[in-house]
Amino acid sequence: MHLDVQDLRNFYYRSTLGRAAQAAVRGRVQAIWPQATGQTIAGFGFAVPLLRPYLSDARRVIGLMPGPQGVMAWPAGQPNVSVLVEETLWPIETGHIDRLIVMHGLETSERPSDLLDECWRVLGPGGRALFVVPNRAGLWSRSDKTPFGYGRPYTLTQLEAQLRKHEFEPEFHCSALYHPPSFKRFWLKSGPLLERTGTRIPTIMAGGVFLVEVSKRLHPPRGAGIKDKVPSGIRILEGLSNPLPKPA
């Protein structure tokens, strides 16, 4: 079940906890992808808070928002780049996307398998996708005060297994949101310190969300090709000593 776009907007842009969560996750995304110069980058679900750093140098930025969630104009004060789409049928040519970010899209989807197939379709050769999902063992998935408390949370093993099943190859993973999902001032002020400390903690002691970067796995074309027949050297020499009968 997708959350309503108004609830997502209010959390990320109008609440102190949402702005802190946005900064923490976006910091991790930028550490993985420092830039996207000349590339086409898209976000599905409600990934637009993570796309803003790429507006200046990317060739194109697209915010894809599923129909059950709803859509909002984004970015504010600039030409709109967000579009309402069917969850598993995006108006994007096959292999057109260089970078794809999925947040609040996979865990809330009623058709996650079809959604992953669509992610694979639009991603180009050499392209990368980044999935941001709630950690089943984290505090954020247990609180309905944040969007990460809705949908199906994952363990890292479950997420990577599902991605491999759909022809993605996990390349890197990390975590974010090590501070509690609390609106109390103490935790909000301690958030940046806890995030820096969290980067040194093993993934098994992960934060509230997992970030998994994957590449698109490609297979060589199937089917038997037409092979050129090379005449046997032995057969050619036979004709010199024992001439072959001519056809009638």
Amino acid (one-letter) located at 212:
V
The per-residue pLDDT for 198 is 62
The per-residue pLDDT for 212 is 97
pLDDT in tens, the chain (248 residues): 789 999 999 999 999 999 999 999 999 999 999 999 999 999 999 999 999 999 999 999 999 999 999 999 999 989 999 999 999 999 999 999 999 999 999 999 999 999 999 999 999 999 999 999 999 988 899 988 899 999 999 999 999 999 999 999 999 999 999 888 876 776 666 666 666 666 666 554 578 999 999 999 886 545 544 444 445 554 444 555 555 555 55
pLDDT tens-place string over residues 179-203: 888 767 766 666 666 666 666 665 5
The per-residue pLDDT for 180 is 83
The per-residue pLDDT for 189 is 66
pTM of this structure: 0.84
The per-residue pLDDT for 2 is 85
HSE-up (13 A, CA, CB side) for residue 236? 4
Q: How far is C-alpha 243 from the geometric centre of its chain's CA atoms?
A: 68
In degrees and rounded to multiples of 5, residue 241 shows phi and psi of -90, -35
Residue 246, exposed/middle/buried by CB under 10 A (0-12, 13-18, 19+)? exposed
How far the first Cα of the chain sits from its last, in Å, is: 78
Give the mean pLDDT of the chain. 86
The per-residue pLDDT for 236 is 46
